[in-house]
Chain A
């Protein structure tokens, strides 16, 4: 299965966009992993920007970076948004409220708690009526999103924006949940080769997944960060990686320029 990469976005520990992450990945020095820049939710109108959670803003900011790089119109791409944890702050607050006597769940918090909230905000802000799927697969969430995005791109002959994001839960869930540092990555996939950053050839694989030397503490934290071996290969220009997907199944991606 072949698709073309048209846009990339990334936010995580020590980088605010793909250019910064690409430089870190290309450098021979061991990265120091700084703080995660605060996502802004730039695509949202002011009132919603103030109310949106950090998870939603992260999903939207990496998506916007990728769509800007691609040069495609935001309302012309199908959406695949993915996160293993979902909106961590919102879920925590709802569970906390439900443990009180009143159990009054805020209506806004409730509709923000759905797994597809970030994708919903994106389609509202970009006035998109395109198909939109939100999904997860534990630590294999990135691979699942790439699989759904690529099959959709080819089957429906439509460019697809994938945004994969994870944020940390607050206490008391923090200790027993994955993703202690936020990580977001977005890609625009297209079946048309014009202006492509790279070409992906994608297949399921039973080979052992690749690790990424120097980056393992980040790669094994948030599910979105499982993308790192692929991003390092894109930074190099070409190569083949097996991404972590499910316990007994990986996703093999060959990158050519």
Chain B
């Protein structure tokens, strides 16, 4: 497996713009969730909405891409000096040698939802509506690639809530096989009626801020987020977080319910460990998928307990950000990079009493300790699972 250095990363979510906003909120236990106030959605639920998106259109040279999802992508690209890092990478590698692989579940579908409300008496969509640069799932990757003026291979990965974890595996393979020298990976998913009403119809949306692994957990809080990372071959002695392994699997069980024993989740984690050559006993922390649905958390508990036992610290950070769907993988990968940098493990916010049936060591308080190697889980509809291992290179 081609290991990769995470040379730079950024994130935007309900906690704010840039990694320092997320770090501060994590350390102060401030959730980004609020009562649903998204457009005219009438749902009794809490959401992780990014403030300010309404006020900043996409840059004029890419105005055809105008939609909430690409605005959110642009917020991310403009945070943490990410753009200037890419300019430096272009000087080093050339535009053609940098790939762009972005995960999303719904891209800019909100633009289509709103256009359908504006159909004329003949049923035609309004003339301002553009499909390919907004709704189509490639739109966000095309936008990021055009914004950064990159010319390497690119595509969107759309495997629901595992999308932006899988981008790390794809980047490793593309760089390892010589198709490019570096990759911008990321995930962008924005609030829309499809996911708000769709998850509600499945009755897996909580009426309060989500409580992962809690005895009384009753569903997800939907959030929106963008996150990006620059991945390159590691150089000797660098003190950057490294992608050490990845594992991908399918449940082959059900479209929207995880395998009850967590068989697919277990296989993804096992494959990630095998790929990295690191034993489970050396993983210092597991960032759970931890959506706070009854089914996900209990299946994940089975799988995690079987592999890691009852001691390894585990938490879900979705109580802070909400479940950011296709951006969950990159958001939690970036949070994992912060745990490595800061020697800090986040709690499972909003949860006070862990489900007594669980075997995992669920953190209920933030903790300071040296952190060298972590694993992050991301699972999606269609039974699609991905686990990644991040850490410092072994000396």
Contacts and interface: CB of A to CB of B under 8 A. Distances in A.
A binds B: yes
Contacts of A113: 194, 198
Interface in B123-177: 123-125, 129-132, 136-138, 141-142, 145, 151-160, 166, 169-170, 172-174, 176-177
A84 interface: yes
A127 B194 contact: no
A178 B375 CA distance: 40
A151 B119 contact: no
Interface in B208-253: 248-253
A248 interface: yes
A99 B160 contact: no
B249 A116 contact: no
B180 to A, nearest CB: 8
Given A94-B194, A114-B382, A147-B179, A176 B129 contact: yes
B112 interface: yes
A257 interface: no
Interface in A16-38: none
Contacts of A212: none
B293 to A, nearest CB: 13
B96 A128 contact: no
A126 B197 CA distance: 31
B255 interface: yes
Given A1-B177, A137-B156, A172-B124, A123 B113 contact: no
A130 B267 CA distance: 9
Contacts of B174: 147, 151
Contacts of A121: 255, 382
A133 interface: yes
B137 A148 contact: no
B380 interface: yes
Nearest to B137: A136
A110 B382 contact: no
Interface in B242-292: 248-256, 263-264, 267
A156 B105 CA distance: 25
B199 interface: yes
A96 B116 contact: yes
Contacts of B198: 94, 105, 107, 110, 113
A33 B343 CA distance: 63
Nearest to A99: B116
A1 B119 CA distance: 48
A119 B151 contact: no
Interface of A: 1, 75, 79, 84-86, 91, 94-96, 98-99, 103-107, 110-117, 119-121, 123-124, 126-138, 140-141, 144, 147-148, 150-152, 154-156, 171-173, 176-178, 204, 206, 245-246, 248-249
- The 4 A-B pairs with the shortest beta carbon distances in the complex, nearest first, are A120-B382, A115-B158, A110-B198, A131-B248
Given A85-B136, A116-B382, 6 more contacts: A112-B255, A115-B159, A120-B381, A141-B155, A154-B173, A246-B153
